[in-house]
Structure 1
Amino acid sequence: MNIKFVFLGLTLVSQISVFAQKMLSQEEAVRLALENNYGIKLVNTDVEIAKNNANILNSGYLPTVTGNAGATYNKNNIESETVNGPADFDGIESSRYNASVDLNYTLFDGLGRAYNYKQLKETQQLTELQARETIENTVLQLFTVYYNVAELAENFNAISQTFAISKDRLTRSEYQFEFGQSTKLAVLNAEVDINNDSINVMNSRQELKNFKRDLNLVLGNTLIDDFDVDTNIMFNRLYNKEALLEKAIANNVSVLQVDKNITINKLGIQSERSAYLPTVGLVGSYGWNRNNNPANFTRVSVSTGISAGVNLRWNLFDGGNTVTRVKNARVNLEAQNILKEQLLVTLQRDFNNAWDNYHNRLKIFRLEEDNIKTSQNNFNRTEEKFKLGQVNSIEFRLAQVNLLNAELNRNKAKYLAKIAELEMLQICGELLNVQF
């Protein structure tokens, strides 16, 4: 019995500490996830790389400037015939030195780099859409875990209340037994029930701790101290189905991605076709050269100067490679159009399922709330009769368990309905616009 009193005391202390814990609001949870979630951090690096790739420095529009320098040393034996007879020279040394700055610039390449640059810009936007998809999935994951914590917190409170009622029942049964108003069987039944409730409290507390750790992981492990979550849930029942479907078609992130891929493939066709046209380039150089050759009439010569020119290259026939690439680019574009048609059909099905699922779960939640009232009234009347000795402990326990199950079912239905609402909003592309 003393152990039970100690456990009850610990339970009450833990409940009091819960009220003193930091409240993690839904807005704060979203902020922490966006700033610290590792998946979001990684996808942001992809966006940064895409921005770098879409920069003018990676476009091919700027010229290239290279510096070159070199030195050559020679030591030769020379045998020659002159008008005065043979002349032999041994160990003749000569050297050459050169340095230059060279410029290359493509004036025209069949508009290939223009289309490539546009592709890079579109690819950057595609990467941003992919990042948005990751953020949406992370936010949905965040609230799935957040609402799991909220549900378990409410379950823990309900189970703790059940434990307190069982404790009161055990005390009452012991007094009744001492005064001869009840049998030892009632005391034993109460002890069995309070032991079961004690186990439920312990399991519920541990499960709540585990899910809090899961939530902290989604937040990038930023919360050091224990915390509580907001269990107040608001539902928006003013949704217009036709308007939401239009938003889904216009704003769904998967649809936007396939539209962006269609645009990229159209630019890809133009880029491949640019190979049919010539390439015109500009070259320029400023150089310095020095020759040291004692064996020549001019022993030392130094030259500096500028050279410039224009070149043209026209690939008249490349064995059919360009034709093949253009054909394949058109096939890829057709594949993206087919993919969009399939995606729109699937999107409409998913939207209808999400719409019906949300409203079905919302109705179940309302019914569970009504069931709570019925179970609470039934328990209150049974408790009064139990105190008057008009019902036995088994009937009292049944009413107690029915009330607990009703509370657990209500909690589960409430958060399932909210998650269903968020899933519907994600399909419509509105998840990140929700005010939590």
Structure 2
Amino acid sequence: MKKICSIFLMPLFLWSQNLEELVSLSIQNRLVESSQNSLESIQKEYESVQSGYLPKLDVGANYSTTNKETASVADKSYTAYASLNYKLYDGGKKYDVYRSYESSIKSNQESHEALKNEIALDVTNYYFNYLTYIAAKEAKQKEIEQLQSQYKRLSNFLAVGSTTEDELEKIVSRVEIANVDLHEIELNIQTILHNLEYIVGEKVNIEAGSFLNDVESLTSDTLRYDIKALEYDMQTLLSNAQSEKSGYLPTITLDNTYSYYDKQFNNPAWDSNLDEQNIFSVNLNWNIFSFGETYHKYQSKYK
């Protein structure tokens, strides 16, 4: 019989979790996973923005035919081209955008760590509250056992007239109150287990035997993750505002387009020897006046 009991009790011990295991499971839950996905998303977006500032190469081809040939429009025409474009200067907006994304990424990283710390703290509180309630439950059960033993003992005294029924009624009342307290403790224990299962994402069976790191090992000059995240958020906002000031400055772009033509004229007189062409251009655009648009954009971002 003892062997059978051992077999049934073995999974209970195998599935028990201490504080370290609970914390490790909790910081891998769906909420933390979602936070990690958000961080990776903004990192990919930053890479996309960086790629947008690199030179762009476009290629294309065209075939056309017309029902009425002219000197400028051949009966049949084939065109192929390759175009290279690069924004040489944008008023410094590129670097402000880079700084904005870098601050935003750091903010998300700090928020991610803050979330894990918050979850770990909640799990730790639940864990030690659970152990406290377990100890209170054991103490309350012993109290009920003592009251019941006392009731039996006084019942014998009542038979010989050494005590009164009032004394027995007092014990009965105390037992009932203790039972109510015991049910409340058990309810609190179940509530903690349900909360832990919600955070961890699996069945929880707590075992005692955990420790906390020495508080003195934490350096006092280390900022909390959530405070760091707020500081990086502020840097992001300032970079976004600064990027709007680029509207006061000119933008310079470089373009180079190579084209190949094959125009087939029915009229030989209109035939041209031009079959390829390369055009290189430097373009400057400067918005001198826009009714305060740039100013208001900057103010909206800054405030």
TM, length-normalised to structure 1: 0.55
Question: Out of 59, 78, 81, which is 1:67 matched to?
Answer: 59
Distance 2:231 2:158 in 1: 80
CA distance in 1, matches of 2:151, 2:12: 27
Q: Using the TM superposition, name which of 17-26 and 119-128 deviates more.
A: 17-26
Residue 115 of structure 2, aligned match among 134, 137, 146: 134
Gaps of 5+ in 1: 1-15, 79-92, 333-436
SS in 2 for 1:325: helix
Distance 1:180 1:279, change over 3 A: same
The residue that corresponds to 1:210 in the other structure is 191
Instruction: Report the Cα distance in structure 2 between the residues aligned to 1:50 and 1:317, rounded to whole angstroms.
Output: 34
- Which residue identity lines up with residue 205 of structure 1 in the other structure? E
CA distance in 1, matches of 2:25, 2:144: 36
What does residue 42 of structure 2 align with? Answer: 50
Partner of residue 251, structure 1 = 223
How far apart are 1:170 and its partner, in Å? 4.2
Q: What is the alpha-carbon root mean square deviation over aligned residues?
A: 3.9
2:18 and 2:210 in contact (8 A); partners too:
no
Question: Partner letter of residue 256 of structure 1?
Answer: K
8 Å CA contact 2:158, 2:164 repeated in 1:
no
The structural deviation recorded for 1:44 is 1.4
- Counterpart code for 2:117: E
For the residues of structure 2 that align with 1:235 and 1:252, how far apart are their CA atoms?
A: 17
Paired residues of 2:90 and 2:252 also in contact (CA < 8 A):
yes
Deviations 1:353-374 (A, max 9, x none): xxxxxxxxxxxxxxxxxxxxxx
Which residue does the alignment assign to 2:17?
A: 24
Cα separation, 1, equivalents of 2:192 and 2:162: 43
Shift of 1:31: 1.1
Contact 1:283 1:308 in 2 (8 A): yes
SS at match of 1:251: coil
Per-residue CA deviations over 1:203-244 (Å, capped at 9, x if unaligned) read: 43343123201111111x133xx512437776978799xx85
Which amino acid is 2:283 matched to? N
Match of 1:156 in 2: 137
How high is the TM-score relative to the length of structure 2? 0.76
The residue that corresponds to 1:111 in the other structure is 92
1:258 & 1:236 partners in 2: Cα distance?
27
Shift of 1:106: 0.9
State the Cα distance separating 1:251 from its structure 2 match: 0.8
Matched, 1:264 2:236: yes
Q: Separation in 1 of the partners of 2:68 and 2:136?
A: 97
User: How far has the Cα of 1:157 moved from its partner?
Assistant: 1.5
Contact 1:50 1:124 (C-alpha < 8 Å) held by counterparts: yes
Structure 1: distance between partners of 2:213 and 2:234: 37
CA distance in 1, matches of 2:103, 2:53: 18
Assess if the C-alpha contact under 8 Å between 1:291 and 1:302 holds in 2.
no
Give the secondary-structure state (helix, strand or coil) at the position aligned to 1:100: strand
Offset of residue 29 of structure 1: 1.8
Deviation at 1:96, TM superposition (A): 2.9
Cα distance, 1:188 vs structure 2: 6.2
Does structure 2 conserve the Cα–Cα contact (< 8 Å) formed by 1:59 and 1:117?
no
Q: Write out per-residue CA displacement over residues 144-188 of structure 1, whole angstroms, 9 at most, x where no aligned residue.
A: 3223322222222122222322343344345x2697476793666
Is 1:109–1:274's contact at 8 Å kept on the other side of the alignment? yes
Q: What's the offset of the Cα at 1:113?
A: 0.7
Indicate how the Cα distance of structure 1 residues 195 and 297 shifts in structure 2: closer, same or farther if over 3 A, else same: same
Counterparts of 1:296 and 1:261, CA distance in 2: 69
> CA-to-partner distance for each residue in 1:22-58, whole Å, 9 max, x for gaps?
44222222211111x2222222122112222333753
Distance 1:192 1:277 in 2: 86
Check conservation: 1:103, 1:285, Cα contact below 8 A: yes
Query: Is the contact made by 2:157 and 2:163 (CA closer than 8 Å) also made in structure 1?
Result: yes
Rounded Cα–Cα distance in structure 2 between residues aligned with 1:322 and 1:72? 44
> Is contact 2:20–2:210 with CA below 8 Å preserved after alignment?
no
Match of 2:202 in 1: 222
- In 2, Cα distance between equivalents of 1:65 and 1:27: 54
CA distance in 2, matches of 1:203, 1:23: 24
- Tell me which residue corresponds to 1:322: 294
Specify whether residues 196 and 235 from structure 1 end up closer, same or farther in structure 2 by C-alpha distance, changes over 3 A only: farther
Give the corresponding residue for 2:26.
33
Contact 2:250–2:287 under 8 Å retained in 1: yes
Asked if the contact 2:18/2:209 (under 8 Å) is kept, the reply is no
For the residue of structure 2 that corresponds to 1:62, the secondary structure is coil
Paired residues of 2:19 and 2:210 also in contact (CA < 8 A)? no
What is the DSSP-based 3-state SS (H/G/I as helix, E as strand, rest coil) of the residue aligned with 2:145?
helix
- SS of aligned partner of 1:310: strand
Change in Cα spacing, 1:212 to 1:70, as seen in structure 2 (3 Å) is: same
2:80 aligned with 1:99, yes or no? yes
**1:21 Cα deviation from its structure 2 partner:** 7.1
For the Cα contact (< 8 Å) 1:291–1:301, is it kept in 2?
no
Q: Which has the higher contact order (CA 8 A, sep 6+)?
A: 2
Residue 198 of structure 1: how far off its partner (Å): 4.4
1:206/1:268 Cα in 2 relative to 1: closer, same or farther (>3 Å)?
A: closer
The SS at the match of 2:287 is coil
3-state SS, counterpart of residue 75 of structure 1: coil
